[in-house]
Amino acid sequence: MNLAYDYPVLGAFWTVMWIFLWVLWIVLLFRIIGDIFRDDELSGVAKTIWLLFVVVVPFLGVFVYVLARGKGMGQREVKHARAQQRAFDDYIRETAGSGTGPGSEADQLAKLSEMRAKGDITDAEFQRAKEKILH
């Protein structure tokens, strides 16, 4: 029995095409569901209605959603990406300046030295604080 004869090239092409379209459909469905939850302008009731529409009647729901709200999907995606980048940048700034970086000990010692020079702390307090920083 020859398998290639039973399953011609055109049949294999159509099988691959249907699998591709099915995966594309699943990705589109999840992007739309993610967009529904990401949109801050929609109320909870509106999100519920859209979600039920997309889940219960998926083909019609997805097409209607793309027609009705498709223009804003890209804008919301860009807004979300910028917010994530801003949060990441803020985290990096906080972490770099929180005293865990390599120059933080030197900064703290410099501040202590200034405080001692101003007379805000005594020499004994300076020595104790310096030992805490270095250990």
| 48-67: pLDDT as tens digits | 999 999 999 988 999 999 99
Which of the pair, 7 or 42, is modelled with greater confidence?
A: 42
**132, two tokens:** 């805490």
The CA distance from 21 to 15, in Å, is 10
Q: Residue 105 — very low, low, confident or very high, per pLDDT cuts 50/70/90?
A: confident
Range name among 34-43, 77-86, 103-112 with the lowest pLDDT average = 103-112
Mean model confidence pLDDT for the chain: 86
Q: What residue spans define the domains of the chain?
A: 3-73, 104-135
The CA distance from 105 to 13, in Å, is 65
Phi first, then psi, for residue 84 (nearest 5°) are -65, -40
**Residue 99 neighbours by CB under 8 Å, 6+ apart:** 108
Q: What is the pTM of this model?
A: 0.58
**Buried-exposed string 79-118: b where 16+ CB fall within 10 A, e elsewhere:** eeeeeeeeeeeeeeeeeeeeeeeeeeeeebeeebeeebee
DSSP string, 78-96: HHHHHHHHHHHHHHHHHHH
Using CA of residue 79, residue 84, residue 90, residue 93, what is the dihedral sign?
A: negative
The CA distance from 2 to 98, in Å, is 70
Q: Residue 3 — very low, low, confident or very high, per pLDDT cuts 50/70/90?
A: low
Range name among 69-73, 99-103, 112-116 with the lowest pLDDT average = 99-103
